[in-house]
Structure 1
Amino acid sequence: MLINAGSLVCTTLVTGVLGFAYWWVAARQFHPAAVGLASAAVSAMMLLGAISVLGLGTLLIGELPRQPGKEASLISTALLLVGIAGGVVGVLFAVAAPFVSADLRPLGANVSNILLFAGGVSLTSITIVLDQALIGLLRGELQFWRNTLFAATKLAAVVAIGFGLHFFIFRAGGGEAIYATWAAGNAISLLPLIAFVLIKKSSLLRHAMPDWSLLRKLGASALQHHILNLIQQVPTTALPVLVTILLSATKNGWFYIAWMISGFVFTAAYALTTVLYAINAAESEELARKMRMTLNLALITSLGANIVIQVGASQILGLFGHTYAVQAAWSLRIVSLAAFPMIIKFHYIAVSRIDKKLLSALLPVALGSLIELGIAALGAHLGDLLGLSLGWMIAVYIEGIFMAPAVLKALRFRPSIEAEKSIALAATIPLKTVQASDAALST
């Protein structure tokens, strides 16, 4: 448990730092319009990748320990399915993108661009499911190293492209070149894991053939996880695309950097609640105890991060260029304040998964997502980029207010009916019966 928890936290930190460096290099080496297109494309990749996951990643976390001997087959089936789904969805989006926004026209400009984007979506969905499967197998250190290699590879690639542009080695270096590094990084990060399986775990290959019957049995549960995951992730991944459509790619270039930095404020709470679900503290007493710890840690980290952001927003964005500091500093300050209600939202979703009450959580989370996008769009119409940021923050606070009672209820431990019955039954067993059972076991 500690290794898994540590790997998730370390993954967040390492990918966050290297991701910061990645977008810093992109902002310094490329025109804001190119950064805007790339950030919108990457956000679309992540959104479509989440759609293509079909809930299988979250499902595997809980199911792999319950399927001894079938882990390899279940994982290979899930990876094959989401990889195909991601490729198909990616092609459809790339073809339709030019009709949605002129700024997204490069995604479907030619066959190579379409295949590049589709490949990126497919790889994104595969790596999402694989990382969660590794957590379910209690091999969190492997997903940590994969993510580290991914982040380092795409950073090195964007540095190389920027270097080539600076010295005129390359003639073209638009947004397509930036988001191509994202897909390349994901592909390269899979190679060591493939080699690890071939060399160290070659015996698994005999049991790794896809078995579609396993997924059919788990289809209903996977669908529930998928719908909840999709609804939860849509606002976060769709917001940069919304900025591009409603405002412009250039303004999204400014906003996305602020959005990426604000992610540092949210990641601690998200990682803590992911671990809370991964350890699956199903007992009410244990869940309440662990929730107190995760809530306190999330509050402390969010408060500390917000102090840094509120004081140093201009200086942090200034690392990307003076224009970013001027145009996006207040957006960064505003969206970072949403970290506190996000703590409530993340815990609400984690508790719903643990208690297997996914269906009852769908409506509140769906309404919250609609409110986030709706008020953000209204804010963009009324107040441009600053209005969008303020509208989104207000929407998240509204969600937090309505989700707080469920979280507080989980914190107030009361023995379940089943637990009370077990205690009562144990109290009725005569002491001599227990002693006789102990004597029988000792012989």
Structure 2
Amino acid sequence: MRRPSSTDRNLRLNSYAVVASNLGTGVLGLAFWAIAAKLFTPAQVGVASASIASAIMLSTLSNLSIGAMYERFLPVSGHRAGGLLVRGYLLVAGVAMLLAVGVLAFGPEALFPTRLEKLVYPVLVVVLALFALQDNTVAGLGVARWGAAKNGVHAVAKLAALVVMSASGAALAIIASWGLTAAVAMGCLMVAMRRRIRSDDRYTWAPDLPARSEMWRYFGASYGITALASIAPLIVPLVVIAQLGADASAYFAVTWSMVTAVYVVLSLLIGPFVAECAAHPDRIGGLSAQFVKTIGAVALAGSAGLAVVGPVALGFIGDQYREHGTPLLYLAAVFIPFTVIGSLYDGLARVHRRLTLAVVTQCAVTAVVIGGSVAFTPSLGVLGIGVSYLAAEVLAAVILVGPLVRWLRELRTQRSEADSHPADLPEHDAVGGVR
């Protein structure tokens, strides 16, 4: 048996920081909406939550998979790292602004009841886009724990800002408390990232990047996954508010924020894993084994938390929130374990740069979620969203479980051979090109 290396320890440290941060931000996020529900009317909470949810999804869509590129290739970008970051951030900010203007032009009027909210919305989307991109960036820089710290500080700050701004009595106070604190946290982390690039010798070395054509293929496939994964969370809140009204939107937003917290943790764990494998391709077998354990434990804990703690937490917010949200939480507790298969496959596919099946699967998942939400919400209410996600996650698991098992078996074999004959196993055998 090999002793844990510094690479294993760094992955473990970053992973634990991500889990701890998102546990804290999940609790504080629920507290945020609980306080909002006490200080504002359900209609105001519904409009603000739909606006914030759509802004978050637009920020993800505007990422253009630049974040995934940073996770995979920043560790080997050498002295080109600084330039890649500047160009990527400017591109994401520009796309975020365009997408926000598009929603203003074609989105539902109920989302922007006042002129001021229309003016604020594009700025909110740009801020959240760069805020989210930083999580991928610091993962690529090997310090995902910095992103975890930023998210934790933002969770506390926006809660305090909400209480202070609630005196205005306007729904915009909810949006402003979220966006202004995100802008401050983002600026602080920008300074830290710049210092990291300038002080780490790695970023003075010659780049060890693959051919440009291969990077473009990776970019296209990764963007396909990101774009498809963003569409459903963007459309679903709009479906809820359009078909069920602002009150139902509030019940859904508060409940789904807990489910989203679990999804976010699983997603953020992928970045540190990919970055460590990119920086240390000879350690992929051991890192993969650790990744499997971490993802599985987090998913099971998240599922149990949704089923046991979730309904109690909704009860503190209000009886109506618990009544409408508890069935959705129970259903989410059922489908969350199925996400383990997709998360594991996604991480390994990014390491090996083989994303075709992941793109196809995400396309199917998106179609099922959106189609099911439109079909089921009129008769089942917000529970129809859960039914749609259950069907989508089961479908993804069925598609990916076979290839995933074969991949893990190959990695276990390679790891055993490396432990027995480390000099006989070529370092590059573990990482393949795009298929």
Query: 1:14 corresponds to which letter in structure 2?
Result: G
Within-5 A mapping of 1:248-267: 248-267=245-264
TM-score w.r.t. the length of structure 1 is 0.80
Deviation at 1:293, TM superposition (A): 3.8
* Structure 1 residues 312-354: Cα deviation after superposition (integer angstroms, max 9, x where no partner): 5432211111111122111111122211111111112112211
Q: Secondary structure at the match of 1:279?
A: helix
2:170 to 173, 183, 203: 173
Deviation at 1:358, TM superposition (A): 1.7
Structure 2 residue 140 is matched with structure 1 residue 136: yes
Moved more, 277-286 or 181-190: 277-286
**Structure with max Cα Rg:** 1
- Indicate the residue corresponding to 1:386 in structure 2: 383
* Structure 1 residues 279-326: Cα deviation after superposition (integer angstroms, max 9, x where no partner): 227999965554444334433443344334334543221111111112
Deviation at 1:87, TM superposition (A): 1.3
Within-5 A mapping of 1:43-58: 43-58=53-68
Query: 1:21 corresponds to which letter in structure 2?
Result: A
Deviation at 1:231, TM superposition (A): 1.3
TM-score w.r.t. the length of structure 2 is 0.82
Within-5 A mapping of 1:334-353: 334-353=331-350
Moved more, 177-186 or 385-394: 385-394
* Structure 1 residues 262-283: Cα deviation after superposition (integer angstroms, max 9, x where no partner): 2344455334433332322799
Are the equivalent residues in 2 in contact too, given 1:288–1:412 (CA < 8 A)? no
Between the aligned partners of 1:291 and 1:372, the Cα distance in structure 2 is 29
Q: Secondary structure at the match of 1:13?
A: helix
* Structure 1 residues 65-118: Cα deviation after superposition (integer angstroms, max 9, x where no partner): 222122222111111111121112112212222xxx342242xx42x3223110
* Structure 1 residues 215-256: Cα deviation after superposition (integer angstroms, max 9, x where no partner): 988544333322211212333443223211222221011011
Deviation at 1:55, TM superposition (A): 1.1
Between the aligned partners of 1:298 and 1:320, the Cα distance in structure 2 is 30
- Indicate the residue corresponding to 1:156 in structure 2: 160
Identity percentage over the alignment? Answer: 21
- Indicate the residue corresponding to 1:210 in structure 2: none
Give the total of aligned pairs. 401
- Indicate the residue corresponding to 1:280 in structure 2: 277
Are the equivalent residues in 2 in contact too, given 1:259–1:335 (CA < 8 A)? no
Relative to structure 1, is the Cα distance of residues 181 and 219 closer, same or farther in structure 2, using a 3 angstrom cutoff?
farther
CA RMSD of the aligned region, Å? Answer: 3.3
Gaps of 5+ in 2: 1-9, 204-209, 426-435
Within-5 A mapping of 1:86-165: 86-97=96-107, 101-106=108-113, 109-110=114-115, 112-162=116-166, 164=167
* Structure 1 residues 117-152: Cα deviation after superposition (integer angstroms, max 9, x where no partner): 101111111122222112211233432332223222
* Structure 1 residues 11-38: Cα deviation after superposition (integer angstroms, max 9, x where no partner): 3223223222211211221111111111
Between the aligned partners of 1:261 and 1:426, the Cα distance in structure 2 is 48
Q: Secondary structure at the match of 2:410?
A: coil
1:330 to 309, 327, 332: 327
Q: Secondary structure at the match of 1:138?
A: coil
Query: 1:159 corresponds to which letter in structure 2?
Result: V
Q: Secondary structure at the match of 2:73?
A: helix
- Indicate the residue corresponding to 1:29 in structure 2: 39
2:87 to 66, 74, 77: 77
Between the aligned partners of 1:200 and 1:5, the Cα distance in structure 2 is 20
Gaps of 5+ in 1: 165-169, 208-213, 428-443
Within-5 A mapping of 1:146-295: 146-162=150-166, 164=167, 170=168, 172-174=169-171, 176-196=172-192, 218-280=215-277, 287=284, 289-295=286-292
Between the aligned partners of 1:34 and 1:411, the Cα distance in structure 2 is 48
Relative to structure 1, is the Cα distance of residues 66 and 276 closer, same or farther in structure 2, using a 3 angstrom cutoff?
closer
Are the equivalent residues in 1 in contact too, given 2:136–2:271 (CA < 8 A)? no
Higher normalized contact order (CA 8 Å, seq sep 6+, divided by chain length): 2
